[in-house]
Amino acid sequence: MHITQLNRECLLHLFSFLDKNSRKSLAKTCHKLLEVFQDPLLWSLLNFHSPAELKKDNFLLGPALKYLSICWYSERVKVCNIEDWMKNNFQKDFCNRHENTVNDFLLEVCNRCPNLLSLTLSGCGHVTDDCISLLLKNCPKLKTLRLENCVRITDQTLEAVTLYGGSLQTLHVDFCRNITRNGLERVREKCPSVMLKAERSANMIPDNKPEKKFMLEKAPRKLFQL
């Protein structure tokens, strides 16, 4: 029996065992398999492991997407997660080349995937509070949000959780150095049913120069003395 003689349910099942590149390659062989590749039911889960994968045309975004994971573990991630004030010109230029990659992709998710249930972002050093806030608004069914080593995430994201995360059950903000204890306590107060985890976040050094922080703390004292 030729593979194209199988019914659609069987073909969808076979496609589900393939990675994104293999699915795309198989879809190029005939029109029937291309239709299977384009079936939204095939794309309820997406995992990405490098920036280049987000720009490929080997996947489909749509209302069927429920589980999304973008996890980068590379030298590029290490550079992007260095404090901005510590980066040299070469490192800054390196980061600027792909600064909006994840944010732009997540905006597409906001527009096309209203039924998203779980989002995991790890090593995404350029993801912003505004992007996560918009996603919480546009994906009201989101139950799990895991953020790890996302250095631009601040208490603004935690505030968005209290405002728009009505369905949220699990929130992880591990190694996110720019969130504070106050922000975490507010989530615990406003969303007591949310399972909150923040490993090495609120105790880490914020993303500004130590001397700058010292001057900001010292200024009010001078005003008070006057």
Cα distances (Å, whole numbers) of residue 192 to 70, 125, 160, 175, 186: 27, 28, 15, 22, 10
Percent of the chain with pLDDT over 90: 64
Q: Per residue in 88-143, pLDDT tens?
A: 775 666 676 677 888 999 999 999 999 999 999 998 888 999 999 999 999 999 99
Please say whether the beta carbons of 118 and 142 come within 8 A.
Answer: yes
Q: What is the reported pLDDT for 224? A: 44
Q: Does the structure show a pLDDT above 50 at 58? A: yes
Q: Does the structure show a pLDDT above 90 at 83? A: no
Q: Does the structure show a pLDDT above 80 at 76? A: no
What pTM was estimated for this model as a whole? Answer: 0.82
Q: Half-sphere exposure (CA, 13 Å, Cβ side) for 140?
A: 2
Q: Does the structure show a pLDDT above 60 at 213? A: no
Which strands form 170-174's sheet, in the order they lie side by side? 45-48, 67-71, 118-122, 144-148, 170-174, 195-197
Q: Per residue in 149-160, pLDDT tens?
A: 898 899 999 999
Tell me the three-class secondary structure of the chain, residue by residue: CCHHHCCHHHHHHHHCCCCHHHHHHHHCCCHHHHHHHCCHHHCCEEEECCHHHHHCCCCCCCCCCCEEEEECCCHHHHHHCCCHHHCCHHHHHHHHCCCCHHHHHHHHHHHHCCCCCEEEEECCCCCCHHHHHHHHHHCCCCCEEEEECCCCCCHHHHHHHHHHCCCCCEEEEECCCCCCHHHHHHHHHHCCCCEEECCCCCCCCCCCCHHHHHHHHHHHHHHHHC
